[in-house]
Amino acid sequence: MEQIEELYKNYFHDVYLFARSLTADESAAEEVTQETFFKAMKAIDKFNGDCDIRVWLCQIAKNLIFTGKKKQNRFTGEEIPETVADSGVSIEEGLEDKQQSMAIHRILHTMGEPHKEVFSLRVFSELSFRQIGDIFGKTESWARVTFHRAKLKIIDELEEQK
């Protein structure tokens, strides 16, 4: 129990930022984060240390979010896109400008997976490419390329809006 309290204290903010980047909704992110630690508490003995504990917690959060979306879409009949195009321009600087930030969020909202999630994990959750690769079960290089493509797509979309 003490181990879970320590995990919660050390990683709550990281998991929340990750969930927030995927849900774009504060209350949903809080709920997913709480559920993540509840599931982690039940499965902590199954964690074998093959990856960083933060990656393991984010994977639990990701699974909770996608499972929730699948259930929700069962009732609405909407499909969950599996892939989408690329993005890009000086996005990190653009986030400081509120108008451009909203434009980037709108573009990101329409972007498909895995580009959307990789971009969000890198920019909003500030995870390393190695951590992102671990979450997806891919290489660090894959994460870099996927992020770059997402960034280029965002840049293209921003250019078209001008």
Instruction: Write out the residue range of the structural domain in which residue 98 sits.
Output: 91-161
User: To the nearest whole number, what is the mean pLDDT of the chain?
Assistant: 76
Residues 60 and 37 in one domain: yes
- Asked if residue 134 is part of any domain, the answer here is yes
Same domain, 57 and 103: no
Could you give the C-alpha distances from 35 to 61, 67, 107, 110, in angstroms and in order? 8, 12, 29, 27
Mean pLDDT of 131-147: 89
Across 138-154, average pLDDT: 88
The domain total for the chain is 2
Give the per-residue pLDDT at 121.
Answer: 84
117 within some domain: yes
Per-residue pLDDT for 151 more than 80? yes
Tokens of 99: 């108008």
Residue 43, in any domain of the structure: yes
User: Rounded mean pLDDT of 108-122?
Assistant: 86
| Shared domain check, 42 and 100 | no
pTM attached to this predicted model = 0.46
pLDDT tens figures, 67-111? 766 555 544 444 444 444 444 444 544 444 567 677 777 888 888
pLDDT reading at 58 higher than 70: yes
Q: Are residues 54 and 113 in the same domain?
A: no
Domain of residue 95, CATH code: 1.10.10.10
User: At which of 46, 76, 106 does a domain end?
Assistant: 76
